[in-house]
Amino acid sequence: MLKKFLVLLLALVTVFGLVACSEGSSGSNDDQLTIGISLPSATHGWMGALIDSAEKQAKALKESDGINYVMTNAADPNKQANDIDDLIAQGVDVIVMLPIESAALSPVGQKIKDAGIPLVIVDRELENDAATVVVKGDNEGIGVNAGKYFVEKLNGQGKVVEITGPPSSVTEQRGAGFKEAMEGAPGMEVVASQSGDFSTEKSLTVMQNILQAHPHIDAVFTQDDGMALGVLQAIKEAGRTDIKFITGAGGGKGVFENIKEGGIITATFLYSPTMVEDAVKIAAEIAKGNDPAETMVVKEATQVTKDNVDEYYDPESKF
């Protein structure tokens, strides 16, 4: 009798255990909305600030709306592609992605679309129509505004250097806008155009080589504030006095400080990393089943010089 009782007791414990496991796996967790966020690693200040902004917004949504999130960071396109595969396998409701490279990640965007998962792209666009919504700064506007600034400051005559970013829609659009704005001034000559990979260190090295190759340069257009700081360091180390000014893009604290001090960086054009907050908010609304109000959200490329830098400078900023 005791043996039969123990067998019955064990059977009941097993049944209750299975029921408990079933309730844990099929309860609210299965119904909880989840945003997948795929970003590059923080190789420069702007990206670091963007990652912080994304996580801050995702945490706020988790607290206010109970929406979960999974964030990944990758140093190269292959790792980012694998991260996306993992997010798809986890069955997230929507994905926010900043592609490391536009061309390399376009097939990955298509894979997301084919899986039936809405995709919100930030900053660098894909080369197909896989995105549900794109949130970006006005990259062409940055280039156009910079080009007009160069023509005005140099009176339509000057030897100019361009420091670009890595292969992406951002780089292409900023470069195209810059060249377009200077087309009406035949006296403007781009004597060198090289990639600084949005890296201060790489831009320092690249500019050192350019300075050795070109004994006279009037001004330098950089597509990123971090790169502007690298160029600034190279010019200082070389003791060059021929270069009249440098411009950046982004709105970084170090560049704002150089502008405030009357340094050789005289202008930058806003491209705030907080744009990712808009992307995460839009993703949350899509996850809830709401249609996005816009499929393209573009942030203005405001010109910042010594005249208005105090409006935008924040000494507590991480970027």
Reported as a pLDDT band with limits 50, 70 and 90, residue 220 is very high
pLDDT band of residue 30 (cuts 50, 70, 90) is: low
User: 55-70 pLDDT, tens per residue?
Assistant: 999 999 999 999 999 9
Exposed/middle/buried for 21, CB within 10 Å: 0-12, 13-18, 19+? exposed
- Global pTM? 0.74
Which pLDDT belongs to residue 26?
29
Residue of higher predicted confidence among 178 and 48: 178
Q: Among 29-33, 207-211, 279-283, 306-310, which stretch is predicted with the lowest mean pLDDT?
A: 29-33
Residue 272: pLDDT over 90: no
Rounded Cα distance, 282 and 182, in Å: 36
**Model confidence at 31: pLDDT above 90:** no
Question: At 16, is the pLDDT very low, low, confident or very high (cuts 50, 70, 90)?
Answer: very low
Distance CA 217, CA 163 (A): 13
pLDDT band (50, 70, 90) for residue 45: confident
Domains of the chain by range and CATH? 34-137+273-288 (3.40.50.2300), 139-270+306-311 (3.40.50.2300)
Instruction: With a cut of 50, say whether residue 19 has pLDDT above it.
Output: no
Kindly report which listed range (18-22, 95-99, 274-278) carries the lowest average pLDDT score.
Answer: 18-22
Looking at residue 25, its pLDDT comes to 29
pLDDT at 281 over 50: yes
Q: Please compute the mean of the pLDDT values over residues 129-136 and round it to a whole number.
A: 96
Average pLDDT, the chain: 90
